[in-house]
Homo-oligomer: A and B are copies of this chain.
């Protein structure tokens, strides 16, 4: 912690973000440039994210496995767009066991190639399909400008890799996962993402089509928070993933891949945080409830701690921490847990014990307005409702913030104004030249075309030629 104060979010969003991560002990800088150490409080958040995603993957028929960290350089070269996309970002092992390697090994930036190779071994007939495998893994991309959680040399993610009999099944899988990510983001993290389709320029290197969930951060910048790719037959052809179909003919399989990473922690921080620090969404919070006992004498301590211990038992289904640190004032503790974003704080003093009540402070509503006086009986049921209310308010607030910062521009001048502090929802003709010009002139990139958008008639915001779909444009992380 230290005594130095957190910069205000409104005054320096970037410094607020960097310092908050360190002060709240979510992560720290590693001694290797661009790498991070995810500290226990940050990792506990990631474990809760993993648990929620993993149970959804398994419920929809996916299984986990583990593929190697090292990929032969020649594998990446088999898919042209893929190697072009990743070549500049590779970390390469050239020495093993003291010897120079004959073929250098790439530290995986993603695993389509090595998994494609294994699938070509495992898949013989349509009976072997679909294959629905996910892995939880670390990957490495040699980024030049790094930011904790948002862009680090090494990061943690899950990557799903599936293979199917038909193009339609692969497309259904891709969209099913996009839907799963959307559900997770909204209902667990209270992050109101917009699911949509990436432009060709923004899609995954080697994909036929990429889908994304896009979130608006509190500085109005966009954060791509998870992606799902329909790879068509690109990787199947590169790695000869073939199967004997129901008519006894050889076919290439149709594959997908999809991932959500520790970057999502950045989305949580920047969607919900305020000047006091983090605000953890209750369903993912490493600590859902912190209890601060308050007493002035040993007698009072005995009375208060007896009550605290009973309450801890009563709240056994929640993630609870009792802050019994000595030599720290209650005021210091309150600030500390606010900084760390614990959704609900319970204060218990001797008078509360006598009254059979506790004071509960809701993190998302600062000051007195957020305080509740609760009777201890049925505290667990009351708190279940309170945590749900906090989740709903956080989602509601973030959704309102997002919607109040999305505008449909009248013209390109208006567009430029909008993307300086919000997202523009504008017709785009689909020409990469317009997309690129907009990016050069305004720093705004295409984020996505929202799913299920009906075709309509308009003019491209840049070239003014006929356009049929609106796209979200924003500056992005």
A residues adjacent to B (C-beta < 8 A): 28, 30-32, 35-40, 42-44, 46-47, 63-72, 75, 87-98, 104-105, 107, 114, 117-118, 121-122, 133, 137-138, 140, 142-144, 153-154, 156
Q: Are A92 and B90 in contact, CB atoms less than 8 angstroms apart?
A: no
A89-B95 Cα distance, complex, nearest whole Å: 10
Please determine whether A118 and B35 come into contact, CB atoms closer than 8 angstroms. no
From B37, B72, B121, give the contact of A32 (CB < 8 A).
Answer: B72
Chain B nearest CB, measured from A2 CB (Å): 11
Q: Is the CB of A156 within 8 A of B40?
A: no
Apart from A38-B65, A43-B64, 18 more pairs, CB < 8 Å: A31-B75, A31-B114, A40-B133, A43-B63, A46-B66, A69-B69, A69-B107, A69-B140, A69-B154, A70-B154, A88-B98, A90-B95, A90-B97, A90-B98, A91-B105, A92-B94, A92-B96, A94-B94
Residue from the set A67, A75, A96, A140 with the largest chain B CB neighbour count within 10 Å: A96
Determine the residue in chain B with the shortest Cβ distance to A105. Answer: B32
Contact A47 to B35, CB < 8 A, known contacts A93-B92, A95-B91, A114-B30: no
Taking CB atoms, residues of chain B closer than 8 Å to A32 are 68, 70-72, 105
Contact between B64 and A47, CB atoms less than 8 A apart? yes
Chain B residues near A47: list those with CB within 8 A.
64
Closest chain-B Cβ to A93's Cβ sits at a distance in Å of 5
Decide if A35 touches B65 in the complex (CB within 8 Å). no
- Bound together, the chains give a CA A91 to CA B68 distance in angstroms of 14
Closest 10 CB pairs of A and B: A97-B142, A40-B63, A92-B95, A38-B66, A35-B68, A30-B68, A96-B142, A94-B94, A43-B65, A40-B65
Q: Which residue of B lies closest to A325 (CB)?
A: B127
* Distance of A406 from chain B, by nearest CB (Å): 35
CA distance A145 to B121 in the complex (A): 24
Complex-state Cα separation, A304 to B63, whole angstroms: 28
19 A–B contacts from the bound complex (CB under 8 Å): A28-B121, A31-B117, A32-B105, A35-B69, A36-B68, A37-B65, A37-B66, A37-B67, A39-B65, A42-B65, A44-B63, A44-B64, A66-B138, A69-B140, A70-B153, A70-B154, A91-B105, A93-B94, A96-B142
In the complex formed, the residue of B with least CB distance to A143 is B97
Q: Are the CB atoms of B31 and A72 closer together than 8 Å?
A: yes
Q: Are A37 and B154 in contact (CB under 8 A)?
A: no
Contact in complex: B93, A88 (CB < 8 Å)? no
> Which residues of B are found within 8 Å of A36, using beta-carbon distances?
68
Bound complex: CA of A110 vs CA of B402, how far in Å?
44
Complex: A105 Cα to B31 Cα, angstroms: 11
Shortest CB-to-CB span from A401 to chain B, Å, is 31
Task: Decide: A89 and B97 in contact? CB cutoff 8 A.
Answer: yes
Closest residue of B by beta carbon distance from A28: B118
**Cα–Cα distance between A298 and B375 once the two chains are bound (Å):** 61
A43 to B107: give the CA distance in the assembly, Å: 21
Task: List B contacts of A156 (CB < 8 A).
Answer: 66
CA distance A235 to B92 in the complex (A): 29
- Alpha-carbon distance between A117 and B96 when the two chains are bound, in angstroms: 25
| Least CB separation from A70: chain B residue | B32
Question: Which of A38, A68, A117, A142: most chain B CB closer than 10 A?
Answer: A68
A137 proximity list for chain B (CB < 8 A): 138
- Contact at B37–A64, with CB atoms within 8 Å? no
Question: CB-nearest residue of chain B relative to A155?
Answer: B66
Smallest beta-carbon distance A264→chain B, Å: 15
Q: Closest CB-CB distance, A444 to chain B, in whole Å?
A: 26
Q: Which residues of B contact A118 (CB under 8 A)?
A: 28, 30, 37
Complex-state Cα separation, A64 to B121, whole angstroms: 36
Report the bound CA distance from A46 to B69 in whole Å: 18
Q: How far does the Cβ of A112 sit from chain B's closest Cβ, in whole Å?
A: 14
